[in-house]
A = this chain, B = another copy of it.
């Protein structure tokens, strides 16, 4: 792995179900245009509230992917 170069992008995914699903939604949407994604790191966890309950979860992640040679 020692000669690889990685680039990072930051995304926010949302879900009405769970924190994990919010992250999965962001990763899946990004995979339409970005290849070789390898890892993510959570940088912010938020959510929206409607009528006194959590309406949806909102997780921001930094994603790293290998740059093609």
The answer to whether A24 touches B56, judged by C-beta atoms less than 8 angstroms apart, is no
When all copies of this chain in the complex are counted, the total is 12
The minimal Cβ–Cβ distance linking A26 to chain B, given in whole angstroms, is 5
| A contacts with B, residue count (CB < 8 A) | 52
The minimal Cβ–Cβ distance linking A7 to chain B, given in whole angstroms, is 5
What is the 8 Å Cβ interface bit string for chain A, positions 35-69, against chain B (1 contact, 0 not)?
00111111011111101111111001011100100
A49: nearest chain-B partner, CB-CB: B37
The answer to whether B49 touches A38, judged by C-beta atoms less than 8 angstroms apart, is yes
Query: What are 13 residue pairs bridging A and B, where the CB atoms are less than 8 Å apart in the complex?
Result: A2-B55, A8-B10, A8-B60, A10-B62, A23-B47, A24-B54, A31-B52, A37-B52, A38-B49, A39-B48, A39-B49, A41-B44, A42-B46
